[in-house]
């Protein structure tokens, strides 16, 4: 059993504690302590981060989880394996703790506004690496004006600096209350009052499915970080597009790209027709008419286009590549039936009918030799 100092003294960022159990596994090294300031992951809130140092070892904490009252600190161990009963000092990443508390407290406040003012209870919540998401029912409709109004009301309550009231209703049930707005059971960590949230901004909303909307937001220091990243990306986009108006620049880029795609398609068709004209000159006269058998290093879609171009000139073809892919097109039903029969002897897998087929054989060169013997 681990004593949860993070509840009693949430401001603590260092703690000397005793190792009571050690594990190793896929997550690395896991240590359990008599006491801890590391809050585990749970209820949509990510775990604390930091390091734990012993006399001759350091554990970089990657995950923190609770198991039957014992809190496990999992991470990458450098140095000697700790022993039971040894002492270690915990060093909490206080910046990350503050960031998580800002998001979680903002979620309680924003969710309270949505439910109290608009009848939209929060049904799901998670703090993600760059933003926080909540889910609300699809009715009543989630309009942009509703979200903007809810965002403004949330900022209003932040400015009111409303103290949070956190208490244990029972030994197992911890209550987080924003007086006059919200009372909920919650095991996560929070700020002393709403004013510590600082900033708040809704980023986007979209339908998760028919029944629920998802809303994404940032709070506290994440607002500044998000804005800085957005400005950097905008500057980069303006530099790449060579314009101060990135929207127009992107629109013009896509117009140019579509024109380029059309030109590439036209040139590919011309090249295919030129290849077909050259191959027709080498076509063999057979009882089934003119036939082209050709092997090349190219993709199957190129073989397909070439086979169709030859077929327009009434030339049957059997084309293959180094990937053992084959395409055939037949202007003679008898030729098509013969190729189909031969394909089955070479483990052919693909789609066929008497006039056209494509797929894969075990070995194209040996299959082509067989076909040539039959001509």
At residue 196, the 3 state secondary structure works out as helix
Is residue 309 over pLDDT 80? yes
Vertex 71: Cα angle to 66 and 72 (nearest 5): 100
Distance CA 204, CA 185 (A): 27
* DSSP code at position 322: T
pLDDT in tens, 320-348: 999 999 998 887 777 778 888 888 888 88
Choose among 5, 104, 103, 100: nearest CA to 48: 100
pLDDT of residue 338: 82
Arithmetic mean of pLDDT, 197-203: 96
Contact (Cβ atoms closer than 8 angstroms) between residue 165 and residue 179:
yes
Q: What is the dihedral of CA 279, 285, 287, 293, to 10 degrees?
A: -30
**pTM (whole model) above 0.85:** no
Choose among 57, 68, 73, 58: nearest CA to 22: 73
pLDDT in tens, 76-135: 999 999 999 999 999 999 999 999 999 999 999 999 999 999 999 999 999 999 999 999
pLDDT in tens, 245-277: 878 878 888 888 898 889 888 888 888 889 889
Choose among 252, 214, 78, 27: nearest CA to 135: 214
Is residue 180 over pLDDT 80? yes
Matching residue, tokens 């998401």: 133
Give the torsion sign (CA, 237, 241, 244, 245).
negative
Residue 355 tokens read as 């006039």
Residue 213 tokens read as 């909307």
pLDDT of residue 328: 87
Residue 334 tokens read as 């008898």
**pLDDT-based confidence at 213, cuts 50/70/90?**
very high
Distance CA 133, CA 303 (A): 49
Contact (Cβ atoms closer than 8 angstroms) between residue 335 and residue 374:
no
Q: E strands along 282-329, which residues?
A: 284-286, 289-295, 316-320, 325-329
pLDDT of residue 124: 94
Our measurement of the distance from residue 317's CA atom to the centroid of its chain's CA atoms, rounded to an integer in Å, reads 45
- β-strand partners of 15: 90
Domains of the chain from N-terminus onward: 3-92 (2.40.30.130), 97-232 (3.30.980.10), 269-374 (3.10.310.30)
SS percent in the chain: helix, strand, coil, step 5? 40, 35, 30
> Burial level of 276, CB count in 10 A (0-12/13-18/19+)?
buried
Distance CA 105, CA 120 (A): 18
Residue 260 tokens read as 């380029």
**Which residues have a Cβ under 8 Å from the Cβ of 210 and sit 6 or more positions away?**
138
Is residue 354 over pLDDT 80? no
Q: Which of 23-37, 214-228, 347-361 has the lowest mean pLDDT?
A: 347-361
Matching residue, tokens 């904490």: 61
Distance CA 365, CA 252 (A): 48
Residue 197 tokens read as 């949230």
Which element (helix H / strand E) includes 150?
helix 144-159
Distance CA 48, CA 74 (A): 11
Helices of type H across 53-142: 94-118
Give the torsion sign (CA, 117, 120, 121, 124).
negative
* Crossing angle (nearest 10°) for helices 246-281 and 221-241: 50
| pLDDT: which is higher, 293 or 352 | 293
pLDDT of residue 134: 97
Distance CA 5, CA 13 (A): 10
Residue 128 tokens read as 């993600």
pLDDT of residue 297: 87
């Amino acid at each position: 059993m681990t004593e949860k100092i993070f509840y009693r003294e949430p401001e603590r960022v260092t703690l000397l504690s005793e190792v009571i159990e050690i594990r190793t596994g896929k997550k690395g090294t896991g240590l359990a302590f008599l006491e801890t300031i590391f809050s585990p992951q749970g209820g949509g809130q990510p775990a604390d981060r930091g390091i734990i140092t012993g006399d001759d070892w350091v554990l970089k904490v990657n995950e923190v989880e609770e198991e039957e009252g014992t809190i496990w600190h999992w991470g990458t161990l450098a140095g000697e394996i700790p022993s039971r009963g040894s002492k270690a000092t915990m060093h909490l990443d206080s910046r990350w703790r503050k960031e998580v508390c800002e998001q979680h407290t903002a979620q309680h406040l924003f969710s309270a506004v949505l439910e109290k003012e608009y009848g939209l209870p929060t049904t799901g919540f998670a703090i993600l690496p760059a933003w926080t998401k909540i889910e609300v029912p699809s009715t009543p409709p989630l309009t942009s004006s509703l979200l903007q109004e809810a965002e403004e009301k949330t900022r209003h309550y932040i400015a009111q600096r409303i103290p949070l009231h956190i208490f244990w209703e029972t030994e197992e049930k911890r209550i987080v209350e924003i007086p006059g707005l919200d009372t909920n059971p919650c095991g996560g960590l929070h700020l002393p009052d709403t004013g510590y949230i600082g900033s708040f901004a809704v980023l986007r909303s979209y339908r998760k499915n028919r029944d629920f909307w998802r809303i994404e937001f940032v709070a506290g220091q994440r607002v500044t970080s998000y804005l800085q990243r957005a400005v950097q990306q905008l500057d980069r986009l303006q530099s790449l597009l060579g314009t101060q108006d990135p929207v127009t620049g992107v629109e013009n880029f896509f117009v140019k790209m579509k024109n380029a795609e059309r030109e590439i398609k036209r040139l590919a068709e011309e090249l295919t027709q030129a290849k077909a004209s050259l191959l027709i000159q080498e076509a063999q006269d057979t009882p089934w008419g003119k036939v082209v058998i050709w092997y090349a290093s190219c993709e199957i879609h190129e073989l397909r286009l070439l086979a169709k171009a030859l077929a327009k000139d009434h030339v049957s073809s059997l084309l293959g590549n180094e990937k053992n892919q084959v395409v055939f097109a037949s202007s003679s039903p008898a030729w098509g039936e013969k190729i189909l029969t031969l394909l089955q002897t070479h483990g052919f897998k693909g789609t066929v009918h008497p006039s056209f087929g494509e797929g894969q054989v075990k070995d194209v060169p040996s299959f082509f030799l067989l076909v040539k013997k039959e001509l």
